[in-house]
Copies of this chain bind each other. A is one copy, B any other.
Amino acid sequence: MKSKKSTSALLLIGAGADAVDVRYASGFSAPDPFLYVQTGDEKCLLVSPLEIGRALKLGPSVTCATPDDYGMSQKARRDLGRQAAVFLAALGCNNALVSPRCPIGVVRRLEKKGLNVKVVKDPVFAERSVKTPKEIRALRQAQRATADAMKAAVALIAAAEIGKDGGLKVDGAPLTSERVRHAVCVRLLEKQFHAEEIIIAGGDQGTDPHERGHGPLRAGEMIVLDIFPRSETTGYWGDMTRTVIRGRPTPEQRRQYRTVLAAQKAALARVAAGVTGAEIHQAVCDVFAEAGYETGRVDGVPQGFIHSTGHGVGLEIHEAPSVSPAGGPLAAGQVITIEPGLYYPGVGGVRIEDTVLVTETGCTLLATCPKRFML
């Protein structure tokens, strides 16, 4: 007896709304959007003629086609929704399951063409948060490259002279956030890692966690170094933060640093399969509360511990699970960051972050890197 043909298919937009899920499921990525359809165990790609050569190299596990194979009109080629309608029809599907990220334009087009569209819940591939051994290797490699770049950044700041005005100097010129960032990026490039948004932020710049940092670095100011590169080859990310100071810290800076370090230790000690992200986050909050560090807004600007404790890392820099008040139970094989921080304008920002693999009984660092505060 012939098996009954499934008429339902998962439709995802590669290199677009669902780029990472498609890369995860098919192994394929491209610069311009393309379509991925999964019916039962069958995986199909519809890619531009420009990409078919690379797509065919995926091997027999993925069926590859181009708009030419379906005689698509020029009009269809310019419209992902039309392409999807033709592609799904050709595969005998009249029910499309799409992710919550699917563009409304594509959904409306499919509905117009008579398809029934249902939105699946996130995550589309729940299994993505638990990493395979191959993924863990890629993440470890990424985190090692991150640690290597971090050491280079710290060494550069440590080697700086302190000018009469308190500004840091290397080779006679001011050491700026931009110079450190450049040195880090070049180091990462040598290992085929790209980093676009890394943070090298001194003084009050470091109290705005998304300020990347600019201009001269100064002695006596805490400098937040947050490095998160992506591998060109595997697509996986590393993520690490250190905070350093050149010259002598004030007692207030020293206490703030020590408190964040203690909070990170407390959080790392809690991580294990079955423990919730919320519990780990609470462990950090407890350390801060006990030390008297308050969180809130002053003149509209948030201060204190103003972000969550961590997040998953994989093909996305921020992905499931969450280590925050909303975080559920962790599972062995998940890879997460633990990155408490405290931010007070006038004193500075401190954040210390490592990326760890969750195990049944605890966690292991994906890469080690010294925590030097005073340089």
Tell me the A residues contacting B by CB distance below 8 Å: 17, 30-32, 49-54, 56, 68, 74, 78, 98-108, 117, 119, 122, 178, 182, 185-186, 189-190, 192, 194, 196-197, 208-211, 232, 297, 300-302, 306-307, 317-318, 325-326
Least CB separation from A182: chain B residue: B189
Q: 13 other contacts beyond A98-B104, A104-B117, with CB at 8 A cut-off?
A: A17-B103, A31-B210, A32-B318, A49-B297, A50-B209, A51-B210, A53-B210, A56-B300, A68-B297, A74-B326, A100-B103, A100-B105, A100-B106
Task: State the CA gap A49–B343 with chains docked (Å).
Answer: 13
Top 6 nearest A-B pairs by Cβ distance?
Answer: A100-B105, A53-B208, A49-B302, A101-B103, A102-B104, A104-B107
B192 contacts A178, CB within 8 Å?
Answer: yes
- A52 touching B302 in the complex, CB below 8 Å, given contacts A30-B210, A325-B74, A326-B74: yes
Task: State the CA gap A122–B80 with chains docked (Å).
Answer: 13
B105 contacts A210, CB within 8 Å?
Answer: no
B182 contacts A190, CB within 8 Å?
Answer: yes
B30 contacts A326, CB within 8 Å?
Answer: no
Task: State the CA gap A62–B45 with chains docked (Å).
Answer: 42
Kindly list chain B residues whose C-beta atoms are within 8 Å of the C-beta of A49: 297, 302, 306
Question: Most chain-B CB neighbours within 10 Å: which of A17, A178, A318?
Answer: A17
